[in-house]
Amino acid sequence: MVVVISDKDEMRKWSRAMRSQGKLIGLVPTMGFLHAGHLSLVKEARNHSHVVAVSIYVNPGQFSPNEDLSTYPSDFHGDIQKLMSVPGGVDVVFHPQNLYDYGIGGDRDVAIQDRVVSCVENNALGHETWVRVEKLDKGLCGKSRPVFFRGVATVVTKLFNIVDPDVAVFGKKDYQQWRVIQRMVRDLDFSIKVIGAEVTRDNDGLAMSSRNVHLSPEQREKALSINKSLLRAKSAAADGQVNCEKLRNSVIQCITDAGGRIDYAEIVDQNSLEKVEWIKGPVVFCVAAWFGKVRLIDNMEINL
């Protein structure tokens, strides 16, 4: 049975006990409602550590006031069952109720209902310390979700301080998030190896996401246009089409023809995430598109 810890001090004690035994600790941060993509991250973490911790915490700090935190799907019991099915298993699940101090008295670890830490949080005694990776978080998803990466970087910093892992695994589907965390770890001198695991896809090619459950069968079929168009773009680049504008236009056309609404479709340098006009080295084609009320992200690395 997986050990479940909700208290921060207990989590620290567990990690210190593992470290005293000379064991390397791997961490997979999640927001729960796990799918095969998350489980692949756990398997990757197992390859680089002796014990594996998975955190399950829906982070309110990365939701803006116009995003409904309450609609984020959850199935904690189902998550535990899935984690128990992973070869080698998971050693501990860190499942805190709340990681923010709201400055209103009482037990700081008790979840505060209907409160969201966001850019409009103005309680003078509440949480006010944020971690921000200034340049990497501005483009791509950062344009339409301005507080998202600030919230991600802050809560991951908290998790790193509490769990104290040697290795942390993030999925490349959230490519910008992975690069933001890598840069944060470098800049703040965390002694943690950050690993990016490849995108996990369903048999039809759709990138696995907790949001996929909200797609109707028709929307899901149309959403396949994202991966199909990215594969075509990668093939075209391999055949010599290195004009990014032409590649972008073909992907945008394919997705919009399928009924999707583009948030962004950009070809950027894999490390700096800055836009490029011509493919001259390793790039990544990143896409975010809406199908109905569901926003999906995907990407394709192109290494010429």
CA distance 31 to 85: 19
* Mean pLDDT, range 11-17, rounded to an integer: 98
What tens digit of pLDDT does each residue of 39-87 get? 999 999 999 999 999 999 999 889 887 776 777 889 999 999 999 999 9
**Residue 38 is a catalytic residue:** yes
At residue 154, the 3 state secondary structure works out as helix
Range in 119-128, 139-148, 175-184, 266-275 the model is least confident about: 119-128
User: Do residues 23 and 171 lie in contact, with contact meaning Cβ atoms separated by under 8 Å?
Assistant: no
List 38, 48, 77, 127, catalytic entry: 38
CA distance 246 to 132: 33
Amino acid making up residue 219: Q
What tens digit of pLDDT does each residue of 134-175 get? 999 999 999 999 889 999 999 999 999 999 999 999 999 999
